[in-house]
Amino acid sequence: MVMDKHICPFGLKSRDLLKREGFDIEDNHLTTREETDAFKQQYDVKTTPQTWINGERIGGHDDLRRHFGKSTAADKEGRTSYTPVIAIFATSFLMALAVSFFASGTIFTFRAIELFIAIAMCVLAIQKLQDLTAFQNQFLGYDLLAQRDVRYAFVYPFAEAFAGILMIAGALIWLAAPVAIFIGSIGAVSVFKAVYIDKRELKCACVGGNSNVPLGFVSLTENLMMIAMGLWMLF
């Protein structure tokens, strides 16, 4: 394997992949910029590392993954995936169980369910707040209130975080619960109309803008959870 002398993430990943596939590895480091430029020109490549197996040049890291029948980031680009939502909900659920155990010595409490929804709301809000512009652009594609008043797309993630934080604290529920019910109701109606009535295939802004999470059942569930949480804690 030929690679630049500096630490290269793709070089390390290629080495690891080759080791897992049972290959003995011989590294050839390019120690100067001149060597690197000459190597790239000789083999007409733009990047290092470049891997050879039994005298046959395989190519860069993506080429090596394809050689072993594995997918690459480029292969996954544009595909829809529920992975971000699963990761958020699973982690939020475990966090809620941990807090419940710390507070009461058991995970089997109604408070654990409340904490799960509230923590998930906060984490989802954080995802949206990382890039408000990207979130707004994706959110405006289906949210009915945001389409009537664009400013709502800016307010939404702050409202979600606000309600979630107060619900975790168990404070000002008279304020937090109506906020959760309001944004959850608008969201549920918007998702239902876009997906089940208009039959549109859209990406959900629930985990932030530019996500590949499909708009559908998971997005509807997020909003229904907020409604249920608001009603439960209010009444």
Give the torsion through C-alpha atoms of 150, 151, 153, 158, to 10 deg: 180
Confirm if 46 and 40 have CB atoms less than 8 A apart.
Answer: yes
> How far is it, in rounded angstroms, from Cα 44 to Cα 97?
55
pLDDT over 90 at 48, yes or no? no
Q: How far is CA 181 from the centre of its chain?
A: 25
Q: How many CA atoms lie within 13 A of 57 on its CB side?
A: 10
205 residue type, one letter: A
In 44-109, which ranges are continuous DSSP H helix?
61-67, 73-76, 83-104
pLDDT digits (tens, 9 = 90+) for 132-188: 988 898 888 888 998 899 999 999 999 999 999 999 998 898 999 999 999 999 999
User: Is the dihedral angle over the CA atoms 180, 185, 193, 196 positive or is it negative?
Assistant: positive
Residue 75's pLDDT is: 56
Confirm if 202 and 215 have CB atoms less than 8 A apart.
Answer: yes
How sure is the predictor about 219, in pLDDT bands with cuts at 50, 70 and 90? confident
Residue 54's pLDDT is: 80
Confirm if 107 and 97 have CB atoms less than 8 A apart.
Answer: yes
What distance separates the 2 farthest-apart alpha carbons in the chain?
73
Angle at 83 (CA atoms; ends 10, 220), nearest 5 degrees:
155
> How far is it, in rounded angstroms, from Cα 235 to Cα 216?
29
> How far is it, in rounded angstroms, from Cα 221 to Cα 187?
10
Q: Look at residues 56, 120, 122 and name the one whose alpha carbon lies nearest to residue 93.
A: 120
Higher pLDDT, residue 12 or 185: 185
Tokens 């995970």 correspond to what residue? 107
> How far is it, in rounded angstroms, from Cα 71 to Cα 62?
8
